[in-house]
Amino acid sequence: MFANTMKTTVLLAGLGGLIVAVAGILGGGSSGSLTIGLVLAFVMVGGSYWFSDKLALKSAKARIITAEEAPEFYGMVAALAARANMPVPTVAIAPQAQPNAFATGRNPNNAVVCATEGLLQHLSKAEVEAVMAHELMHVKHRDILIGSVAAAIATAISFVAQMAMFAAMFGGGRDNRGGNPIGALAVALLAPMAAGLMQMAISRSREFEADRGAAALLGSGQHLASALERIEQIAVRTPMAVAPAQAQAYIHNPLAEASHRKTGGVDVAKLFSTHPDTGERIRRLRQM
């Protein structure tokens, strides 16, 4: 747990440093450009922090349920929350046929956990419980905030880089104080890629930690391992339309995934994935 937390901290610090560096390089090192970069990051972090629950529920077309509407599922989530010494989150169900689930919200007192209809239909009660334990661990560890911060900073970096690229292409002749325009274009192209890689590494790290927390809460990782196996099998046949920005919130990537391609011994697709390899997650859970 400590290693994953330190890894996340380092990656978030790197993302924050990257946006300041990008703004400084592309703005010729002026204090005004650094300030713009910081303001962009903070505004986007704040927006994603406060409205993440509404955005995710709207994207999934999910409906909030009560204990009277779905007593078994709601009661399961409430019992897990009590076992984890957490407030009971808002519980929702999304209409998608693919078995999947996500958690969202700005803190444990303002959180939502959501399962798809497919999850409730295709998985056993023990497997659904394991999936919801995983989502509650995201809430308990404040992974929604961490993910929102990472996504906001990465988005701000991309925005600053795109603005600089257009400025270099169409307005670079007016003022040469910004330095080498070729260098600025290189930074504009490479910085968003670096930010995206760090954001995805953070997401993968938090998935492993939520798996570990769910296994500890339930006393075993076996049911979550079998749930992930089942989800993976069905998800391949049942793609789900989700905004790419929301995909990382789900327990399994809801978007159709391309085959992994290895280049020089490195699995390139894994570097650009918001989720760890399912087989690796299952292997770790089987050992818990």
Task: Give the span between the Cα atoms of 276 and 253, in whole angstroms.
Answer: 9
The Cβ-side half-sphere exposure at 261, using a 13 Å CA radius, reads 4
| E strand or H helix that includes residue 262 | strand 262-263
Quote the tokens at residue 102: 């996500």
Task: Give the span between the Cα atoms of 16 and 36, in whole angstroms.
Answer: 13
Whole-angstrom CA distances from 188 to 161, 163, 259 are 4, 9, 28
> What is the CB neighbour count within 10 angstroms for residue 172?
15
Task: Give the span between the Cα atoms of 48 and 266, in whole angstroms.
Answer: 33
- Tell me phi and psi for residue 63, to 5 degrees: -120, 140
Sign of CA dihedral 99, 102, 149, 12: negative
∠ CA 248-199-25 to the nearest 5 degrees? Answer: 145
229 catalytically annotated = no
- Between the two ends of the chain, the Cα-to-Cα distance in Å is 14
**Strands ordered across the beta sheet of 101-107:** 63-65, 90-94, 110-116, 101-107
List the catalytic residue out of 69, 117, 127, 135. 135
Residues serving a catalytic function are 135
